[in-house]
Each structure stands twice: as C-alpha cells, then as structure tokens.
Structure 1
C-alpha cells in the first residue's frame, strides 16, 4: 500500500524542516519503520486504508504530471504549495501546465473535471498525504505556515453549500413504507432485518451492516426482555479494542431473530446473498449491497430509486430522534458520532415547526 520508503539518511536532504542529519542513534531502523507502518495498518479501518490508497495514487500521478518526478518522503513545501494552488482554482478557462496536468489525470480516470474540487475533497487528499508522513514519523510540509495559510484561503475561496449525502432522510414513515414491500421469502426476511437493523441501531453505515457476523449477535436477553445485543467490531470512529455493544429492540430485534431462525445460521456472515431459487448462499454480501437492496425496495414502494441513499438510514435515525424529542447525547450513544457538531446538523435540519420544543405549553 505504502510507497517506497527512502533510507533514513536521505530524510534530512529532502526536507527544509530538517537542517542537520540526525545522529545514527536517533534514527529509526528499517525494521522500526516497517513496524510503524504495520502498526498504522492494524489500527486503521479498512475503508480508511482504501481511501488513503486512492488518494495517494492521485497525488503521485499529479506530481509526476506536474514535476516529472515521483513522490519524496518527506515532501517539499514547494510541492505541497503547488498542489493546493492548482486545486483551488477552476482550470476550465486557464490553459497552461496546471490544466495540462488536470487533463492528464482526467484521461487516466483519476479526476472528473477541470473545475476546482470541493474543499472536503482537497482536505481528504491532504489528510491522506499527511497520514503517510506520520506513518514514517516524518514532518509534513502542510504544517509549514505558508502552506497552512494557502490551504485556509483555498478552503474559503471554494466554500460550497453543504450537500446531504442522501437526497432525503429515511425517517420512520418512509422506512415503514419500504418494509411493507418485504414479503415472507428469504429475500424479504433478510431485507427487513437489514433495513431495520441499520436504522434502529443508530443509523449504521452500509459497510458496517454487511461486515456483521452471526457471532456478533447476542440473543440471551431476547426471550425475557425482547432485547438483542449487537457488537460492532470496527466502525469509522471505533477500533476492535473498544468494540461497542448496541441494543436492538422491538420490530428490529424481532426481524433479526426471524432471519436467524429461518436460516438456522450459527456462524459466519450474518447477511448473505439469496439465490433466484430463494436460497441463502454461504458467502458475505458485497459492501455496497445495502445500496442495491434499498433501490430495489424504493422501486417496489413506488418511489424513485434516487429518493434516498443508504446514508439516508443514518440521517433518518438522527432526524427521527430529533422529531421525537430524544436528547442529542442519547442519539449519539447509538449513532457513535464523535462530534456533537456533526450530529447536531441533522437536528438542525428538522423543520422548526416540528421541533418538540415548540409545544412546551401544550395545545
């Protein structure tokens, strides 16, 4: 995954941040640096690693197109500054080396258009670049004052209105409509269990749902309390060492137990493909399967297939929590948001006339 690593001795010659070579006793050995990289891999979610790889491929191709040289570690401040400046402007009507490089990236499928990428996209690519510097215990050029200032100005210059990840939140009423299309076939039972679990457990991401195993489900409290416990080994904000346990109640718990009963699954992937003959297959669903299932259910419900995306289940959970007057902190315990500011955006999107705080004096 990671690019070729130069020797420790060459680090000092390729960065303005280090003016004198470190003494040998202060340098990491090749084995130490390899162990450091492996530590990052083990402590980083698979989706994040894939994003880093894609971003690094883009960055490496960009530098080759602009400078005719591969990436160096640590990278030069001048290269980082040029990267920011070229991605902070619309290159549509700007012929020259920057446009030529962008066209080259478009030709090989790494860039879509000549307009400036969204600030969030630029921030993510820079964050990936910085992550590879941290992986090698090297200073990042993006911490230099001039580069940092240019990045802030680029972000302000290309600020865009926030666009929701899903066209609409899938609130309780919408979810009920989708569930009405689920029959008693294996496919219908699976889809009902997946959709209710994704919503009721805090608005789970599609990769988290498809990554679940039967062993992650605890049914010991179901007979007495109607409660199912769900263990998430790895999420975007948690690691295997602190895997959260989340409760499922009511229809979501019953739908999941029904799926386990009719399939008699004891171990392995929790949610699986269903054959045309309505037989559950032994392999795991693809990470993007929830998107396909959601589109199918939207079509059966008479709604456009682009009515909502899987993120609509996450947005719908928080939106419904706001509509029902649930405290933000309580909703975050299930959604596993680390940032109250991020979670609050869903509460802020609720129509103000529907806010339960407007009814404090009653009708």
Structure 2
C-alpha cells in the first residue's frame, strides 16, 4: 500500500511529509483488512471497466457522464445486446480478465458496493463525487429497483446441530482433526463466527482461567463486521466446544500467536495463521468426508446454522443475538421467520 493508492488520503500541501505518512498509517490501521481488500478489488474492476469502455484512465474527480455510464452498463442483461454495444464489449473485456463472471445483470448489492468504494476514493482525495449529483443518484435508485431480486443465501444450507455432528464425526485423532473439531465447534457455538473472526483469533484472545473450575472459556474478538475495536463484548464457550478448544491448544502447543494454524502433511503445526479461504476448504473437506456434497454449505452455514438451531430450540432471539453479534434485529429475525413459518399450523390446513 502506498500514499498514492486512491483508497488512501491524498497528499495535502498543508501537511508535512511526516504528518502525511502518519495520516496514511491512520487510515490503514483504522480500516478493517476486509474493507481494504474490497477497495483493491473494486479499484481494479473500475479501472479496467473505464479502460475497456472509453479507453481512458480514471479521473479525479470523475465525470457525471462516466458515473452514469457505469450505472447503465451494470443495470441490464447484456446477453442479447448487439455486438457493437459498447457496454457489451466492455463486459466481454472484463470477463476475459476474469473480473466479471457473465453478461447477466450483476446483483444490485454488487453495483452498490462498487459505487460505495468509488465514493470512498473521492472522499479520501477530498473531492466531490459524481455519484452525489441528483441525476446520478436517481439513476442509481432506478437501477436498484429495476434489478431487484431476492438476496441469495450466503450458504446453500445452514449447518444445524445434526449437520455439525456429522462433520465432527469425521474428526478422529490427528492434530488436523483436533484443530478442525475445535475450529468448527468454536465457529458454531460461540454465535456463528465469520471466517475473518475465526482466523483473526490469537492465543491471548482466549482466557482459560475459569475452565478448570467451571468448564467455561472466554473469547475476546478484536473487532467484527458490526463492532469496532474495543467495543466487542467477550463471548463464552461452554461444554464440548470449550473442551475441544482446550484440547487443540494443548495438542497444537499453542502458547502464543495465531490460535488456528495450517498443519503440514507430516501433521506438524505451523506458525502462521490460517487464511479465510482455508476455512472454506476445511468445511468443504469435512462435508465430503461426511458423505455430503461439497457445495451443501459454506462457512457462513456455521453462522446461519447457529441462528436456525436457536430458533428450532426456542431460544429467545435476543439471547442468540448476544452471541451472534447481529446489529440488525431484522437480519437475525429472518432465520427465526423461516423456522416459524414451517411450524405454523396454518401451513397444514389442507392436510
């Protein structure tokens, strides 16, 4: 990362070189790593799109005409567009660069995220954004409504308790098995943790002071998608999940550093942390060993499965949210609604 990156603050003549470097460092430390990665992906996409569409580099500030063209190009299906259509040609160039998957209309959430990144780049350069103009704002709203579709679930199926037990049954006695058992149980039982939250855990984030006496392990998350540093409440791990985590710490010899780490083919624990993609591979591997399709669920199934199981067991939604750390009651309620409607007696009126 350099101070020249559009997602970092632009050089200011009012600041010394030392203060400018400090400001850049502040932006990096104050922005979640996932957001920085999203910025980089979106910047790559936007830059490639403008080059393919207009044969021009990005401008700062960008023009309203370019902003409108970006919205229009991503607000329609291009599969039946004529060959001379510039939007089609740009999309095909992006597909060739593996930056776009198909000619179909992208999801509104994808368009919103890329525009939000573009807006952020302008703010960091202390510039007005073309996406703030009335006409562009209205076009964006119309595009969102025209392409409205039900949100696709992040996991094909929730990993409810019975599915989790099938995955745990594949974890036998190796260090890899001990790690995966602890990872899956922590990811599920602590409220349905996201991949970045699991891989970001350090040994010092886990307190075993009460384990021998009460069987309870306390977990401190640095930050989550819905909480900031220093404001994330401690989470509790009990019973089998706590025992599995303590066993992994002992077997893996985890005295400090990353809590979950790669394991070599010789079953040796490495020093570096697992990547978020490794969590995906672990879930897929355990699904395959359990005799389930690899695409049956994704790591987000641990999160959706925890809330779905809480609803099935009759746990109050407020209690589940204290562990899942959902900020929106409406978002968490979706999992409860799916269970409630299936159990609704009115659904059986026909017999």
1:91 aligned residue: 78
Partner of 1:59: 46
State the alpha-carbon separation in 1 of the partners of residues 329 and 192 from structure 2.
15
Instruction: Give matches, 1:274-353, under 5 Å.
Output: 274-350=263-339, 352-353=341-342
Range moving further from structure 2, 75-84 or 65-74? 65-74
1:73-152 matches, within 5 Å, as: 73-95=60-82, 96-152=85-141
* Correspondent of 2:197 among 204, 208, 233: 208
**Preserved CA contact (<8 Å) 2:219 2:237:** yes
Residue 252 of structure 1 corresponds to 241
Q: How many residues align?
A: 339
Provide the TM-score with structure 1 as the length reference: 0.87
Unaligned stretches of 5+ in structure 1? 9-26, 359-363
Instruction: State the alpha-carbon separation in 2 of the partners of residues 230 and 344 from structure 1.
Output: 25
1:285 match: secondary structure: coil
Instruction: For 2:56 and 2:25, locate their aligned partners in 1 and report how far apart those are by CA, in whole Å.
Output: 27
Give secondary structure in 1 for the equivalent of 2:258.
coil
Q: Mean Cα displacement is larger for which, 197-206 or 109-118?
A: 109-118
**Residue of structure 2 in register with 1:50 after alignment:** 37
Contact in 2 for aligned 1:210/1:289 (Cα 8 Å)? no
**Would you say 1:219 and 2:208 are equivalent positions?**
yes
Q: Distance in 1 between matches of 2:310 and 2:271?
A: 36
CA distance in 2, matches of 1:72, 1:5: 16
Unpaired segments ≥5 residues, structure 2: 347-351
Q: Say if 1:40 and 1:135, in contact at 8 Å, map to a contact too.
A: no
Distance 1:75 1:142, change over 3 A: same
Distance 1:199 1:266 in 2: 24
Write the distance in 1 (CA, Å) between the matches of 2:300 and 2:235.
19
Moved more, 33-42 or 166-175: 33-42
Cα deviation code 1:283-313 (max 9, x no counterpart): 2222211111112211221111111110100
Q: Note the alpha carbon deviations across 1:98-154, whole angstroms, 9 max, x for none.
A: 111111212222112112111111011111111112222322221211111111111
Which aligned segments of 4 or more residues in structure 1 are displaced greater than 6 angstroms?
4-8
What's the CA shift for 1:198? 0.2
CA RMSD of aligned residues (A): 2.3
- Per-residue deviation, 1:349: 2.1
Q: Is the 8 A contact 1:60 1:70 kept in 2?
A: yes
Shift of 1:5: 7.9
- 2:205 and 2:219 in contact (8 A); partners too: yes
- Aligned-partner SS, 2:219: strand
The reply on whether 1:273 has 2:279 as its aligned counterpart is no
Q: Given that residues 105 and 147 in structure 2 are in contact (C-alpha distance below 8 angstroms), is that contact kept between their aligned partners in structure 1?
A: yes
Deviates more, 1:230-239 or 1:47-56: 230-239
Alpha carbons 1:36, 1:135 under 8 Å: kept: no
**How big is the shift at 1:69?**
2.2
Q: Is the 8 A contact 2:10 2:124 kept in 1?
A: no
Structure 1 residues 275 and 37: CA distance shift in structure 2, 3 A = closer
